[in-house]
Amino acid sequence: MNTAQQRGMVLLTSLIFLLLLSLLSLSSMRNASLQEKIAGSVKLRNESFQLAEAALRIGESTLLHPDYALERCPGITTCAPPAEAVQLTTAGRHPTSGVTWVAVSGGFYGVQNFAQTLDPVNVMRQDEEPEPWTLYRITGIGIQGSSRTVLESVNVIGRRIMWRQIH
């Protein structure tokens, strides 16, 4: 092989290596971009969860006011978990559920008086006389960017007896 052919092969080999390195770099950049999007999404989801938990706590604290009173919801539709929570955008009384939504920083909360019971989750001692306990459902909504978290707790005054994440 003469020198000109060798130089041509070196050039061809160099171009192939350059192409492979470019493809590897492009793939790495796409992967880094995807990881950044995932991290951003997780961050928004965590922030919306924290905002929903804060709204839930504020709603629960309203039950502790000595003059707090809320009428019991009158029917099945108004006693069910409020369906509008997954798309709510403004505060105020919702016509279907009857829940009055209160705006807080980063979200909303709503309270429902939905039942009475004599012994929620065995909180009474053996020697106590049964007395009615009012059960309240508090729904907290946290909104951060495109992420929305909906949390729900069931409370008797001053005590959370159930919690769940809806959305």
> Is 83 part of any domain?
yes
How distant, in Å, are the alpha carbons of 13, 50, 122 from that of 34? 32, 24, 49
pTM confidence score: 0.79
Burial letters 130-163, b for 16+ CB under 10 A, else e: eeebbbbbbbbbbbbeebbbbbbbbbbeeeeeee
CB-based contact 112:73 (threshold 8 Å): yes
Binned at pLDDT 50, 70 and 90, residue 124 comes out as low
Domain interval for residue 77: 35-165
Cα torsion at 18, 22, 24, 26 (round to 10°)?
Answer: 180
> Is 98 part of any domain?
yes
CA neighbor of 60 nearest in space, from 19, 15, 111: 111
Residue 57 has a CB neighbour count (10 Å cut-off) of: 16
The per-residue pLDDT for range 44-55, each reduced to its tens digit, is: 999 999 999 999
> Is 109 part of any domain?
yes
> Is 10 part of any domain?
no
Sheet holding 92-93, edge to edge: 92-93, 100-104, 107-117, 133-144, 147-156, 159-165
> Is 71 part of any domain?
yes
> Is 26 part of any domain?
no
The per-residue pLDDT for range 73-117, each reduced to its tens digit, is: 888 878 889 999 999 999 999 998 899 999 999 999 999 998 888
> Is 46 part of any domain?
yes
Structural domain total, the chain: 1
Q: Rounded to whole angstroms, how far apart are CA atoms 68 and 88? A: 25
